[in-house]
Amino acid sequence: MSETLKHLFSPVAINTLKLKNRAVMPPMGTGYGNKDGTVNERLIRYLERRARGGVGLVITEVCAIDSRGKGFPTEIGAWSDEHIPGLASLAAAVKSAGAAIALQLHHAGRETVKDFIGAMPEAPSDLPSAILNQPCEAMSLERIREVIGAYAEAAGRAREAGFDAVEIHGAHGYLIGQFLSPFSNRRTDEYGGSGENRARFAIKVLRAVRAKVGVDYPVIIRVSSDELIRDGYDLSYMKWLAPRLVEAGADALHVSLGVYSTPGNLTIASSDMEEGFNLFRAREIKELVNVPVIGVGRIIDPRMADAAIARGDADLISFGRQLLTDPDTLVKAQEGRYDDIRWCLSCNQGCIDRLNFEMRSATCTINPDCGFEYRLTDEKAPASKRVWVIGAGPAGLSAAIAAAGRGHSVTVFERDEEPGGQLVSASRPPHKEGLAKWTRWAARTAEKAGVKLRFGEAVTGEMIATEKPEAVVLASGADSAAPAIPGIDGPGVREARDVLIGKAKMESPAVVLGAGYVGMETADFLMAQGASVTVLDMSQSPPVPPYTAHGYWLHRRLRKGGRLLLGAKVTSIDGGAVRYEMEGKAYSEPAAMVVTALGARSERALEEACAASGVPCVVVGDAVEPRRLIEAVHEGAKAGREL
């Protein structure tokens, strides 16, 4: 074992539960469960795979203690004895893979909708969710007693099913957090008003659970150390509350942050936040309690985790999205193989954004295996083929890795002198360096798998006709496109990619045409270089949603250092100015530099050449249609697996 990780890989105990190390997989919603709340093979294999990666404790995603408390349609449950067999299979699988497992007990309160639960959402007060804006009803005293009992009964089922511990979800603005917070609790009885009254529900839940499971069974509670919202509670309140939670029966505190309406979604922070940004709050809680504290908050690198434990920030560390991206992170780190680790981008594209905004089950943007472990095999192809992959962008590299894994002889051709495709420029704006790290990882992984990488070499139709590969994956990407605006070919106009990679000299003031991710991130890049920036877009609403974590920070930085003008139709570019119309009026914006970020056009000319030569060809990524990174990586991997 690497000496640098001796703290992370030292044993620790939570009550009577002895853990082999201090690495925790925290709860993360997946949407993999069945609609009746039962566990299925997909969820079992997904968590089993993370357990095999060396983590000491796995905490399941949210598990509803009452059918009225589900936060999404496929949330697993423990409100009935009928759930016990599936939960038992899950617990057994994780434990056989070498990790301990805790079941997270959850009630969404007002953070759900009637269609999911078949009833009106319930909460401390009849205030609708700030995010969902759904009507809800205030819980009666009788209903409060019922729900407290439901937490206890669910904990008993968890113990019966073989779980090593339970974690009570008191964070992120769900039911327990709703009682704790003046943001959501306007009651005037013994459950509202003073800080002590608002804590009463959490305290009673802990005591009821403890009475049900006994003194020797580990009970963890997850809390938001600070809600970071107007009228919410802050760190000082949680510091007051933490010792009282321990007195009520908590054997460990899992110190998270925020609620889902916290600006910037710091509960699941994007790459805009520094790694480990929440650890100081865990330390402040740890100084006040005599039970283990679990630190969490964009912690990716085991070396950082080890240092945090050594400093006394926390006793255990949660690695969340990093274990989606690379379930073997801990094993690789323990062996000193840091170059082999696929590092999380903190992009949220494949996990929480997909679950919350697209209502689809979670995966990982750059790990196409995540969530599909139940149907993956290591089976080799019946016969090895000579495969050409045209393009070393994300789709091409993913296809090459997957095809080589099937046993094919793979060659990747890239017309540029380096891999990455559009990720070369996309990695240059602030906080986007992770894209370059992934590109380097993918190229190394491909080479280790035997893939030949040929850079600075553009494939032609003649090459395909002459050498006749047995299969082609066309991952040739997309080229920039721009509408026919008068002056758009002028000397002061530059394409966003050229600006980002340094082919174009920065000048100020700059006007960026297009407020999609390319335009907004290019504006971010220019502002970081000191330029004055205005972004123009025809859309009436922002193409980059400000409610996503990364979108929030992009808009915030632009408000501080530049301008975003929506509903602006550019009419011409001339004389150092961009002329545009808004609401029927003409305007002019001075521009020493005009940057175009107006979309892209797929490049798939070689598809015809393959057809003419009788070579099977599959088109992937932006060559199909310009889209996101997740589509490129997943389509490429699928194409490689199916060869």
Distance CA 258, CA 268 (A): 9
Q: Pick the more confident residue, 260 or 219.
A: 219
Which are the contacts of 133, defined by CB distance < 8 A and separation ≥ 6? none
Output the pLDDT for position 378: 87
Distance CA 595, CA 164 (A): 57
Residue-wise pLDDT tens digits, 234-283: 999 999 999 999 999 999 999 999 998 999 999 999 999 999 999 999 99
pLDDT at residue 3 in the model: 65
CA 479 to each of CA 421, 473, 603: distance values in angstroms, whole numbers, following the listed order: 10, 18, 7
> Does the annotation count 580 as an active-site position?
no
Cβ atoms within 10 Å of 375's Cβ, excluding its own = 9
Do the beta carbons of residue 16 and residue 218 sit within 8 Å?
A: yes
Out of 32, 151, 174, 233, which one is annotated catalytic? Answer: 174
What DSSP assignment string belongs to 515-537? -SHHHHHHHHHHHHTT--EEEEE
Average pLDDT over residues 405-430: 98
Average pLDDT over residues 45-65: 98
Q: How far apart, in whole angstroms, are the C-alpha atoms of residue 157 and residue 165?
A: 11
**Is pLDDT at 1 greater than 60 in this prediction?**
no
- Of residues 291, 605, 278, 339, the one with CA closest to residue 461: 605
Name the CA dihedral angle for 470, 474, 475, 477, rounded to a multiple of 10 degrees. Answer: 160
Per-residue pLDDT, averaged over 485-499, amounts to 95
**Mean predicted confidence (pLDDT) in 597-610:** 95
Please state the rounded mean pLDDT for residues 326-346: 97
Check: CB of residue 550 under 8 Å from CB of residue 556.
no
pLDDT higher than threshold 60 for residue 2: no
- Non-local CB neighbours of 141 within 8 Å, separated by 6+ positions: 189
Domains of the chain: 3-373 (3.20.20.70), 377-480+601-641 (3.40.50.720), 493-598 (3.50.50.60)
| pLDDT, tens only, 70-119 | 999 999 999 999 999 999 999 999 999 999 999 999 999 999 999 999 99
pLDDT at 78: 98
- Rounded to the nearest integer, the mean pLDDT of the chain is 97
Supply the pLDDT for residue 482.
85
Torsion of CA 267, 434, 31, 400, to 10 degrees: 180
| pLDDT 10s digits, 151-191 | 999 999 999 999 999 999 999 999 999 999 999 999 999 99
144-154 confidence digits (pLDDT tens): 999 999 999 99
Give the tokens for residue 303.
Answer: 């070396």
Q: 47 near 90, Cβ under 8 Å?
A: yes
